[in-house]
Amino acid sequence: MEYKVEAHRIMSISLGKIYNSRVQRGGIKLHKNLLVSLVLRSARQVYLSDYYSGACLNAAQSEREANEWDITDSEREKFPSSTTECDRVESPEEPQQTERPEKEHEHRENDDDLKSDQVDCTSTLQQEQNQNSLDSVANVSSETPPETIKEPKESPSESAVAERDSTPEANGESHQPPKTHVCSNRKRSAEETESGDSPQKRIKVASSDAEGDEEAEEMDTSNVSNLITIFGSSFSGLLSKDGAKPESETEDSGQICCDQMLKNLNPWSTAIVAF
């Protein structure tokens, strides 16, 4: 767990550096920001993989997600499709919200994929750890179905949902797809399982906010994760394709992301508010 804390801290520091680099004299230093983005990506991978191997959510969370998903459905269009790296990684907080927009689109009938992944939790983790972002980013961004994300692909079939009992690991995947009906099934099975993992508690806390806040937070953390995705997977967040004018584009997206970061009240904010 301390790895998770450390990774989280490094991510916050890295984001702060990227944010500060925009106001530094002499313009953005490409080399330094590239290195920072690499650190950010490494930290993020550790952060997420560590969680994943630890414990997954129980379905009680997915129940809350179900509620949120209805709200966020409309939000989906607001997010750029470039938030791709998150999609392939299963994790509790921010990715769940980032992935929701994409996943909704892709996985509407695919809840069974998640179930199938219960078994494949560990192997998927390894796969993720082995892959590095760029290729998978490219794959996912092309909106191909889950094949690119998870290993064995089974065609979605809702019938299987009720059959497969949720193991603790399964829950890590289970919250992903925004299916109300699926969730109700899981909720039933999840309620039967007990899990005292702190990640779950964390999600519960985050989800227990008022309805109105959920929407705002959701958007905030999505932008945070967008920012992280952008920086983590590549360098696109800092530079436009026309290298001649990197700063103007950066500032727009960076400004929005950072502003919303600062408004955020979830665990991310403690480190970032200082900036």
The dihedrals phi and psi of 111, each to the nearest 5 degrees, come to -60, -25
Name which position in 2, 25, 196, 210 contacts another protein (CB under 8 A): 25
Name which position in 15, 18, 46, 227 contacts another protein (CB under 8 A): 46
**3 state SS for 169-227:** CHHHHHCCCCCHHHHHHHHHHHHHCCCCCHHHHHHHHHHCCCHHHHHHHHHHHHHHHHH
Using the rule CB under 8 A, is 236 a contact of another protein?
yes
In whole angstroms, the minimum distance from the beta carbon of 103 to another protein comes to: 22
Taking residue 204's Cβ as centre, other Cβ atoms within 10 Å add up to 14
**CA 224/CA 89 separation, integer angstroms:** 16
List the one residue out of 133, 60, 47 whose CA is nearest residue 94. Answer: 47
In whole angstroms, the minimum distance from the beta carbon of 13 to another protein comes to: 6
Which range touches another protein (CB under 8 A), out of 119-127, 143-151, 189-197, 227-235? 227-235
Using the rule CB under 8 A, is 196 a contact of another protein?
no
Name which position in 2, 26, 159, 211 contacts another protein (CB under 8 A): 26
Using the rule CB under 8 A, is 271 a contact of another protein?
no
Using the rule CB under 8 A, is 5 a contact of another protein?
no
Taking residue 34's Cβ as centre, other Cβ atoms within 10 Å add up to 14
Distance of CA 86 to the CA centre of its chain: 5
**CA 202/CA 101 separation, integer angstroms:** 22
Which range touches another protein (CB under 8 A), out of 57-65, 70-78, 207-215, 245-253? 245-253
Nearer to another protein, 25 or 212 (CB): 25
Please give the residues from 101 up to 140 whose contact with another protein meets the rule CB under 8 A: 134
Nearer to another protein, 174 or 234 (CB): 234
Nearer to another protein, 30 or 216 (CB): 30
Nearer to another protein, 132 or 208 (CB): 132
- The CA dihedral of 273, 204, 229, 36, to the nearest 10 degrees, is 50
201's enclosing H/E stretch is helix 198-207
Nearer to another protein, 188 or 245 (CB): 245
Report the interhelical angle of 30-54 vs 211-233 (nearest 10°): 120
**CA 169/CA 100 separation, integer angstroms:** 19
Using the rule CB under 8 A, is 43 a contact of another protein?
yes
| HSE toward the beta carbon, residue 165, CA cutoff 13 A | 6
Nearer to another protein, 74 or 248 (CB): 248
Contacts of 105 by beta carbon, 8 Å cutoff, 6+ apart: 76, 143
CA angle in degrees (0–180, nearest 5) for 65-79-233: 95
Nearer to another protein, 13 or 160 (CB): 13
Using the rule CB under 8 A, is 185 a contact of another protein?
no
Nearer to another protein, 34 or 265 (CB): 34
Site for another protein, rule CB under 8 A: 6-7, 10, 13, 17, 25-27, 29-32, 34-35, 38-39, 42-43, 46, 134, 233-236, 239-241, 243-245, 247-248
